[in-house]
Structure 1
């Protein structure tokens, strides 16, 4: 770690460092951090351990980058980051570090959430205007929707089971149909968001991660679409030369192959 921290300090040296690294700010680095996180996920999904090793290094470098900029401003340094996360993990795992007996996974999850809630409660009232504060706005929309719903559910703002959730989806789809009939771009935009939000709520009730579910669906679509592309190449045909029924037939074959 010292080697990496020294490299980062050298890159940010105002006199001898790299011009690109020197001019970066917290905000300008954020897009790279998000990109690196997705590349880590991609390496894991591909089962490529060499690539994962490389991408984890890139992601770690992002943390070091932020810590160096914070150190230059006198806010905190990398050691403070390590101390903070270490303390947090110890506090959230009393069954490991404090001898508390807790073997049931559900109870463990409840204790974890309670610990997180207590940490939020210790924040100053000025920084805690809403129970939804702290759900990062930069999260992917599906992930953020699920976290917002989960936070609200802890306060009792939730359906008791999935039946009313399913009914809500049907209600929102009906409203979307009406918006489409009205040919209102603004209404379609709003109602389509409501449909997605309701679907995320259903997945939350089913203990399904909405973001991961859609990522899996994307991969499945790519695989099946690739099958259709290869089939058409073998037939020396293009998509435009096929009817929708023919393409649907190839899609069904692709599903069977998968």
Structure 2
């Protein structure tokens, strides 16, 4: 691993390269906040994919791609006289220090007595509402553009941070059953609009259950996506090798090959 001096030198080198590219490369010079935004989202998802696979080589690579975008935005900000990378770093440090009084106690005060990760999270949410430029309400800091599954998890987690949660996590299962029953009722009534809303309630309650049992629902669903894809690819490859199209198989035949795929995992 590198020393702190080497890390600072590497970061300085990145800033120098960014300055040069912005000055001499036509593509880099042309970029704006708006033009980079979609690429930033893509790079973030690529990093998430590498994290999910615990692929250290690609995690390192994708972190670099995300860091490039951070430096790029800061460079554009400095050109417009709005902020620079130092402002980004200092503002982040100030926020981290303020939200960790159990590590950085305010002058003249004792360290907050917090010994659990849960306690830190609750304190974090409470301190956010105290910041001068902080969120006006508990849920106002959740980006509207977040994917719905992740947004639901964040909504529930923030509500938990101020004490709005089940007394016992096992209580959530009654809520899940209640939502399923309400969904089934609307299906029987053939009311699609109400059924859609009730199905959303089912998903919301299941995400809540995942949170209570310390399972990341987005990761869990992605694991299942990958598992299904692998099994379906096996099913498709198995039939194509025999010169058979999937649509020519019966459901029973497809299920038989599907079970083979499961046993091969």
Normalization by structure 2: what TM-score? 0.80
Say whether 1:24 aligns with 2:32: yes
Equivalent residue in structure 1 for 2:240, among 220, 233, 239:
233
Give 1:181 deviation, angstroms. Answer: 3.5
| Matched-pair contact (CA < 8 Å) for 1:135–1:144 | yes
Equivalent position of 1:204 in the other structure: 211
Deviations 1:162-213 (A, max 9, x none): 4432222222222322333444443333222221111101111111111111
Query: Aligned with 2:162: secondary structure?
Result: coil
Equivalent position of 1:246 in the other structure: 253
How many pairs are equivalent? 251
Residues 120-139 of structure 1 aligned to structure 2 (within 5 Å): 120-124=129-133, 128-139=135-146
Q: Which runs of 5+ in 1 are unaligned?
A: none
Equivalent position of 2:151 in the other structure: 144
Deviations 1:102-125 (A, max 9, x none): 895xx144124413431332235x
Equivalent position of 1:42 in the other structure: 49
| Matched-pair contact (CA < 8 Å) for 1:33–1:62 | yes
Say whether 1:117 aligns with 2:92: no
Equivalent position of 1:57 in the other structure: 64
Q: Matched residues in 2 for 1:236 and 1:224: separation?
A: 19
| Matched-pair contact (CA < 8 Å) for 1:162–1:205 | yes
Query: Aligned with 2:119: secondary structure?
Result: helix
Residues 157-168 of structure 1 aligned to structure 2 (within 5 Å): 157-168=164-175
| Matched-pair contact (CA < 8 Å) for 1:161–1:205 | no
Normalization by structure 1: what TM-score? 0.82
Task: Tell me how large the CA RMSD over aligned residues is.
Answer: 2.9
Q: Which runs of 5+ in 2 are unaligned?
A: 1-10
